[in-house]
Every structure is written in structure tokens, then in C-alpha cells.
Amino acid sequence: MESETEQSRATGRAAWQVRIELPSHREAVQLAGRLRAEGRPVIRRWKYLILGADNEDEAGPLAEMIRQAASPDPSVRVSVNPAAHVDTRQAVTGEVASLLFYLEPSHR
């Protein structure tokens, strides 16, 4: 866990991500607003949100907090952030470039 946290802080990219899929765009906008008001950086795409975590120990409780705060039965998944392991100093194209667009946190 400590190496994940160090890597996250050194690169500015979350090593883990929590992805929340909501039933509607409106619910996604509302939840993103609440989370941002709490000071949490959020990436919002139509009906889903992505939040970063420095390590697995932070991602689990974050996911649980989201499950309790969101509308009934949101789809909440915790996973390793694939963008955290991509060297963006090299030219990236195709799928990797679109992955970075969707997953790279905007604030860290």
C-alpha cells in the first residue's frame, strides 16, 4: 500500500479508482456536485463518475461512502487505475489516449 501511495503522489495520478454508474445523467450531475462540495476531485461522464484513491485501503471505504450517499443501487466498482501505469511522456495514440482522457484525475 505504501508504494502505491508514493507512486500516486509522485505521478499525480491515483493508483486506484472508484467508478460509479448512476441511473441518470441528472443523478450523476447531482452526486458529482455534492462530492465536489466536499472537496473531492471527480471526473463526470454522462451517467458515471470516477474518483481516485492513492491505494486500495482508501478505495474501499470511498466506495462504501459512495454506495451510502448515492441513489438506490448505484453500480460501484473499485479497480486499479490503468492510466496510473502509462508513461505519458511517450507519444500515446488510440485506446491508450482515450483511456487517459477518461481516467486521469483533473486535480490532485
Mean pLDDT check: name the lowest of 19-28, 35-44, 66-75. 66-75
Three-class SS state of 17 = strand
Distance CA 98, CA 72 (A): 30
- Contact predicate 16/59, CB 8 Å: yes
Question: For the whole prediction, is pTM greater than 0.75?
Answer: no
Closest by CA position to 103, among listed 13, 38, 10, 28: 13
As a CATH number, domain 2-103 is 3.30.70.260
Q: 60 with 33: CB under 8 angstroms? A: no
- The domain spans of the chain are 2-103
Residue 81: pLDDT band (50, 70, 90) is: confident
Beta bridge partners of 48: 21, 45
The larger pLDDT score, comparing residue 38 to residue 94, is at: 38
Question: Quick one: which H or E segment has residue 91?
Answer: none
Q: pLDDT tens digits for 46-77?
A: 999 999 888 889 999 999 998 888 877 778 88
Choice between 38 and 71, residue whose per-residue pLDDT is larger: 38
Say which residue the cell 476531485 belongs to: 41
Burial grade of 85 (CB within 10 A; 0-12, 13-18, 19 or more)? exposed
